[in-house]
Amino acid sequence: MTRMWCVDPELLCRQHLLGEHKELHQLVGHVRAGNTNAIHGHAERGQIDTSRVSARHRTLVAEMERRGYNHNSPLEYDDSLNVGNVDESANLVELRERCVDCQDRIDSANH
Protein backbone atom coordinates (compact mmCIF):
# COMPACT_ATOMS: atom_id res chain seq x y z
CA MET A 1 0.00 0.00 0.00
CA THR A 2 1.23 3.47 -0.87
CA ARG A 3 0.78 6.03 1.82
CA MET A 4 2.25 9.47 2.28
CA TRP A 5 1.92 10.23 5.97
CA CYS A 6 3.33 13.75 5.60
CA VAL A 7 3.69 14.11 9.38
CA ASP A 8 6.82 15.54 11.03
CA PRO A 9 9.39 12.87 10.05
CA GLU A 10 10.90 12.87 13.54
CA LEU A 11 7.66 11.29 14.74
CA LEU A 12 7.95 8.27 12.46
CA CYS A 13 9.47 5.06 13.78
CA ARG A 14 12.17 3.43 11.68
CA GLN A 15 9.71 1.15 9.93
CA HIS A 16 7.29 3.93 9.01
CA LEU A 17 10.04 6.35 7.98
CA LEU A 18 11.68 3.80 5.68
CA GLY A 19 8.26 2.58 4.53
CA GLU A 20 7.03 5.99 3.46
CA HIS A 21 10.33 6.64 1.70
CA LYS A 22 10.11 3.37 -0.25
CA GLU A 23 6.49 4.04 -1.15
CA LEU A 24 7.40 7.43 -2.65
CA HIS A 25 9.73 5.64 -5.02
CA GLN A 26 6.99 3.11 -5.82
CA LEU A 27 4.53 5.92 -6.46
CA VAL A 28 6.90 7.57 -8.91
CA GLY A 29 7.36 4.15 -10.51
CA HIS A 30 3.57 3.96 -11.01
CA VAL A 31 3.55 7.42 -12.57
CA ARG A 32 6.37 6.53 -14.95
CA ALA A 33 4.70 3.27 -15.89
CA GLY A 34 1.46 5.08 -16.61
CA ASN A 35 -0.52 3.20 -13.94
CA THR A 36 -3.10 5.94 -13.70
CA ASN A 37 -5.74 3.72 -12.09
CA ALA A 38 -3.47 2.91 -9.17
CA ILE A 39 -2.57 6.56 -8.71
CA HIS A 40 -6.15 7.78 -8.82
CA GLY A 41 -7.20 5.02 -6.42
CA HIS A 42 -4.61 6.15 -3.86
CA ALA A 43 -5.58 9.78 -4.43
CA GLU A 44 -9.28 9.07 -3.86
CA ARG A 45 -8.45 7.37 -0.57
CA GLY A 46 -6.46 10.40 0.61
CA GLN A 47 -3.20 8.43 0.65
CA ILE A 48 -1.11 10.57 -1.67
CA ASP A 49 -0.55 14.10 -2.90
CA THR A 50 1.58 13.98 -6.02
CA SER A 51 2.42 17.69 -5.78
CA ARG A 52 4.27 16.99 -2.52
CA VAL A 53 6.33 13.98 -3.66
CA SER A 54 9.64 15.77 -4.34
CA ALA A 55 9.62 17.90 -1.20
CA ARG A 56 8.50 14.97 0.92
CA HIS A 57 11.31 12.80 -0.42
CA ARG A 58 13.85 15.50 0.50
CA THR A 59 12.36 15.78 3.98
CA LEU A 60 12.41 12.03 4.59
CA VAL A 61 15.95 11.65 3.27
CA ALA A 62 17.18 14.44 5.57
CA GLU A 63 15.67 12.61 8.54
CA MET A 64 17.08 9.26 7.39
CA GLU A 65 20.54 10.80 7.13
CA ARG A 66 20.16 12.45 10.52
CA ARG A 67 19.52 8.98 11.96
CA GLY A 68 22.44 7.49 10.06
CA TYR A 69 20.36 5.34 7.67
CA ASN A 70 21.67 4.76 4.18
CA HIS A 71 20.13 6.49 1.23
CA ASN A 72 21.19 5.55 -2.29
CA SER A 73 18.12 6.37 -4.27
CA PRO A 74 17.93 9.87 -5.68
CA LEU A 75 14.44 10.73 -6.82
CA GLU A 76 13.91 12.91 -9.86
CA TYR A 77 10.28 13.81 -10.13
CA ASP A 78 8.45 16.71 -11.72
CA ASP A 79 4.80 16.47 -10.90
CA SER A 80 2.43 17.04 -13.78
CA LEU A 81 -0.54 15.17 -12.28
CA ASN A 82 -1.32 17.24 -9.20
CA VAL A 83 -3.74 14.71 -7.73
CA GLY A 84 -4.61 13.82 -4.16
CA ASN A 85 -4.64 15.51 -0.81
CA VAL A 86 -3.20 14.34 2.47
CA ASP A 87 -4.61 15.18 5.89
CA GLU A 88 -1.54 15.02 8.12
CA SER A 89 -3.47 15.67 11.35
CA ALA A 90 -5.72 12.68 10.71
CA ASN A 91 -2.66 10.65 9.70
CA LEU A 92 -0.93 11.49 12.96
CA VAL A 93 -3.93 10.18 14.91
CA GLU A 94 -4.02 7.03 12.79
CA LEU A 95 -0.29 6.35 13.12
CA ARG A 96 -0.50 6.78 16.86
CA GLU A 97 -3.29 4.21 17.03
CA ARG A 98 -1.66 1.82 14.65
CA CYS A 99 1.95 1.68 15.78
CA VAL A 100 3.33 1.58 19.33
CA ASP A 101 6.74 2.78 18.17
CA CYS A 102 5.29 5.85 16.48
CA GLN A 103 3.06 6.33 19.51
CA ASP A 104 6.12 6.50 21.78
CA ARG A 105 7.73 9.11 19.56
CA ILE A 106 4.55 11.17 19.24
CA ASP A 107 3.86 11.09 22.97
CA SER A 108 7.40 11.98 23.98
CA ALA A 109 7.42 14.87 21.47
CA ASN A 110 4.35 16.26 23.24
CA HIS A 111 6.09 16.53 26.60
With beta carbons less than 8 A apart as the criterion, state whether 92 and 56 touch. no
Amino acid letter at 106?
A: I
- Least distance (Å) from Zn ion to the CB of residue 72? 8
Q: Hey, which bits of the chain come out as E strands?
A: none
Measured from the CB atom, the residue of 51 and 103 that comes closer to Zn ion is: 103
8-47 residues near Zn ion, rule: CB under 5 A: 13, 16
Binding of Zn ion by 7 (CB under 5 A): no
With beta carbons less than 8 A apart as the criterion, state whether 87 and 47 touch. no
- Least distance (Å) from Zn ion to the CB of residue 99? 3
Amino acid letter at 5?
A: W
Measured from the CB atom, the residue of 44 and 104 that comes closer to Zn ion is: 104
Q: What are phi and psi of 93, to 5 degrees?
A: -60, -45
Interacting residue with Zn ion among 26, 35, 36, 73 (CB under 5 A)? 73
Binding of Zn ion by 102 (CB under 5 A): yes
Sites of contact with Zn ion (CB under 5 A)? 13, 16, 73, 75, 99, 101-102
